[in-house]
Chains A and B, each alone.
Chain A
Amino acid sequence: MEQETTKGRASVKTVIKSILSGDILLLMRVDRALPYILFLFALGWVNIFLNYSIEQTMAKVEKNKKVMEYYRNDYANKTYEFVKAGKISNVKEMLDKANSEVTTPEKPAVIIKTN
């Protein structure tokens, strides 16, 4: 019994000693797992880098959205003005101002058909 207790104390002491001396790493064959540990670190670094890149891209997306909004508004404004100018009475007014002889048609158009 005494021998067993002594043995138990010795094993705890051995473990602590092996931890402090670094033997435990060798016993656990951590040197073999080193590539995997390095790989994990690399993955972690890639993850951080990708998150950062995503954030940058999202920031660009938001910026481009504002640019698109700007052009959409510009297009809407121009469409409104263009359609307004196409109103028959407005076209007539512009033609009158330009002293044009062009007026609204009095008969249907004639289509010239070619072969």
Chain B
Amino acid sequence: MAKKIDRENKRPSRVLMYFYLLFLCLSVVVTLKIYSIQNLWEPNPKFVREFLPSKHLEQTQPREGSIIDHNGKILAISTPLYNVFMDCCVQKDHYAKDQKNGKQKENKWLSKADTLAGGLARVLKKQGKDSVYYSKLIRDSRKKGRRHVTIVKGVDHRTVEQLKKLHLFKEASHKGGMIVEPVYNRMQPYEGIAGRIIGYVNKNNPANGYIGIEGTYHHEIKGKAGTKWAKHTDHFQWISDIDSTSVEALDGMDVRTTLDINIQEIADRALRAHIDTVKHINSACVVIMDIETGGVRAMVNLRRDSLGKMKESFNMAVGRASEPGSIFKTVMLTTLLEDGLVTLDEKMPIDIENMKYPGFKKAERDRAAFQYKERNSAESIPVIDGFMVSSNYVFRRQVTDNYYENPEELVTRLHSYNLGGSFSFEIQETGGSRPGIPNPSSSTWSESSIPAMAIGYSVQVTPLQILTFYNALANKGKMMKPHIVESFERDGMIVEKRDPAVLGIICSEATADTMVRAMKKVTHSKQGTAYNSMRGVKCPVAGKTGTAWIVLEGKEKIGARSPYEAADGRRKSQAAFAGFFPADNPKYSMIVVAYTDLINGSEGGGGRPARVFKQIVNEIWAYDTAWQSELTAKQDMPKIGQPEIVITDDVPDLTGLGLRDALNIIEQMGYKCEHTGVGHVIKQEKQGETIKITLK
């Protein structure tokens, strides 16, 4: 009995013990299995491929920055264009295997493809292909088993969205077969305006393929690619597997320039209008600078191509150093005034005997001086008038008399104006000529160097260097460094700001004011070389004309009569006009330069360049907010009482009128008006004292 009770008591614990033993054995088996999997077992590669999540290292592309102008308008931006392809064999095998309904489904697919073809012809009208073409393309490609058929290349986002709504393409890609591949392009919305300044990158040409801002700041704009691991999930999706080895992509920076695209467009249009049809002008440039900061507001460089079209293909403003001619007289006069060697009112006798200079075989008769003598019945010419009529005699005489014995002093002063070498402008142009000032101790120095330099020969300067000097005169003697980049930004935040920099002081304020007086005579005095061209300019301009012969090159030199005159007597010339406006409180400085082929006669700085200058001044004057006038209220408006409403019955038919006209009539009739909609009146309804009109 006790044994039986004992056995009965032990039964539940025995059952539990059996369960416990079972789990104990299982745990031992599991432990041993874990050990063997970790240390001994190699998985089947097929299972690894199918069941373990696959990983790969991928590059993350950064977003490229844009180039924007001074006011934030986009000059260059990366936008995707799309190439659209079609897998013409989708579901073909599936239908082929379906013996029951396969043929029917295949015909249905082909019918949808025909509808698609019609849609393609409609959406891609510009390609000039009809629905028959697309239908044949799809059907033939399906027969031939082609899986990547080009439908169209280089279309924009909107067109792709329209294509995605078409038959077949609106279905999933494994049914419809649509394949879209984005291709990122660098686009310039202003199409050619400021093309050379904005530039481009041509990686196939490492030596000369980095042009303009795009080329100079290619790395800043491009950003840095990153890397990350991507793994496959159980739901067949790729996700980032971020760990310490992941490197986030660094987006490119936006480059804010000092350009004002509206001013650039004004300058471009003005230059083209005056030189496009003048075949003997092979190239020209315009540079506009902000006086206070030295920021370049516009830089136009046009060069005639083999088809005779003017294109932005070379930056002459920074890359073409040449003898500036009379435009350099401003530099000489500033130096003479600053050194106290001359005053504007100082008179010089107009006498051929005074026109002999060192290194010249005979006296050089100055036509401008003798013309002045005839017009004014004067025996002498003041320095200011010599500047006004661009007399070579006045300048050769003054510079020779004051600097011939000590040429180093003059050369040192010219170097101090940053005319001797190239200063670090952000954009350089390869393949151009380098600026330079002759050195008195060099072998090329001669007796005639000083008289030549006096009128802008023997020195090589770029248009930008000349303009920097004129800009300094307008800025009371403070020479600002010309620059085109204002700041680097990322996501609207400034990363790096480039402040304006001062290159130096070229002269005192008094000298600068004196020079402005002299330059105003050139443009606003009847005998000034730019007077005729500047007539009608909308604000006062101070400037100087310049005409220089260009040295012959290559085959032009064969049988040449002189370094500037070809065998047949023709010459190449460089015509320029530089100045600033408004003369008394200048805001912008500008230079216009035109270069000609071999011609008889010459292209004068007071002609086309001055007229281009005037047109640009007139348009900028109207456009710029600096010269807006204010209209302030002189008194309050008088209050009027409530008008008496006279109700009449004869309301005319208002159908077709705009809202303003309809309101005017209704209120004149003495009614109130209620209106709905936008557009023209289509319905009117009289309700008591109110006329209700519906517009559409």
Interface size on B, residues (CB 8 A): 46
Contacts A20-B21, A59-B235 given: A74-B157 contact, CB under 8 Å? yes
- Within 605-626 of B, Cβ neighbours of A (below 8 Å) are at 619, 621-625
Q: Choose from B234, B628, B633 the contact partner of A109 (Cβ within 8 Å).
A: B628
B239 close to chain A: CB less than 8 A: yes
Q: Choose from B77, B239, B265 the contact partner of A79 (Cβ within 8 Å).
A: B77
Contacts A109-B628, A111-B629 given: A61-B239 contact, CB under 8 Å? yes
Residue of B whose beta carbon sits closest to that of A25: B20
- Contact across chains for B17 and A21 when beta carbons are under 8 A apart: yes
A112 to B73, CA, bound (A): 27
B444 close to chain A: CB less than 8 A: no
A87 close to chain B: CB less than 8 A: yes
B266 smallest CB distance to A (angstroms): 8
B307 smallest CB distance to A (angstroms): 21
A82 to B623, CA, bound (A): 21
- Within 295-325 of B, Cβ neighbours of A (below 8 Å) are at none
- Contact across chains for B239 and A62 when beta carbons are under 8 A apart: yes
- B residues in contact with A72, CB < 8 Å: 63
A79 to B432, CA, bound (A): 36
B47 close to chain A: CB less than 8 A: no
A110 close to chain B: CB less than 8 A: yes
- B residues in contact with A58, CB < 8 Å: 239-240
Selecting from B168-176, B187-195, B343-351, B524-532, the interface stretch reads B187-195
- Contact across chains for A113 and B630 when beta carbons are under 8 A apart: yes
Selecting from A2-10, A32-40, A42-50, A99-107, the interface stretch reads A99-107
- A residues in contact with B628, CB < 8 Å: 108-111
- Contact across chains for A84 and B633 when beta carbons are under 8 A apart: no
- B residues in contact with A108, CB < 8 Å: 621-622, 624-625, 627-629
Q: Choose from B24, B538, B631 the contact partner of A111 (Cβ within 8 Å).
A: B631
Interface of A is mostly: helix
- B residues in contact with A86, CB < 8 Å: 73
Residue of B whose beta carbon sits closest to that of A114: B633
- Contact across chains for A77 and B621 when beta carbons are under 8 A apart: no
Interface range on chain A (Cβ under 8 Å from partner): 35 or more
A80 to B624, CA, bound (A): 25
Residue of B whose beta carbon sits closest to that of A55: B233
- Within 53-77 of A, Cβ neighbours of B (below 8 Å) are at 55, 58-59, 61-62, 72-74, 76-77
Q: Choose from A80, A88, A89, A106 the contact partner of B77 (Cβ within 8 Å).
A: A80
What 0/1 pattern do residues 143 to 187 of B give for CB contact below 8 A with A? Answer: 000000000000011100000000000000000000000100001
A105 to B157, CA, bound (A): 35
- Contact across chains for A80 and B189 when beta carbons are under 8 A apart: yes
What 0/1 pattern do residues 526 to 552 of B give for CB contact below 8 A with A? Answer: 000000000000100000000000000
A100 to B166, CA, bound (A): 38
A80 to B631, CA, bound (A): 37
B382 close to chain A: CB less than 8 A: no
- Contact across chains for A107 and B240 when beta carbons are under 8 A apart: no
- A residues in contact with B237, CB < 8 Å: 59, 62
Contacts A62-B237, A83-B74, A89-B265 given: A110-B79 contact, CB under 8 Å? no
Residue of B whose beta carbon sits closest to that of A71: B157
- Contact across chains for A107 and B269 when beta carbons are under 8 A apart: no
A89 smallest CB distance to B (angstroms): 7
B186 smallest CB distance to A (angstroms): 11
B141 close to chain A: CB less than 8 A: no
- Contact across chains for B190 and A115 when beta carbons are under 8 A apart: no
- Within 8-35 of A, Cβ neighbours of B (below 8 Å) are at 19-22
A86 to B158, CA, bound (A): 19
- Contact across chains for A110 and B629 when beta carbons are under 8 A apart: yes
- A residues in contact with B158, CB < 8 Å: 77
Which chain B residues have a beta carbon within 8 Å of chain A's beta carbons? 16-17, 20-21, 24, 63, 73-74, 77-80, 156-158, 182, 187, 189-191, 193, 233-235, 237-240, 262, 265-266, 269, 538, 619, 621-625, 627-633
Instruction: List 8 A-B residue pairs with CB atoms under 8 Å apart, sorted by A's residue number.
Output: A22-B20, A62-B237, A73-B157, A76-B77, A76-B78, A76-B79, A80-B189, A112-B631
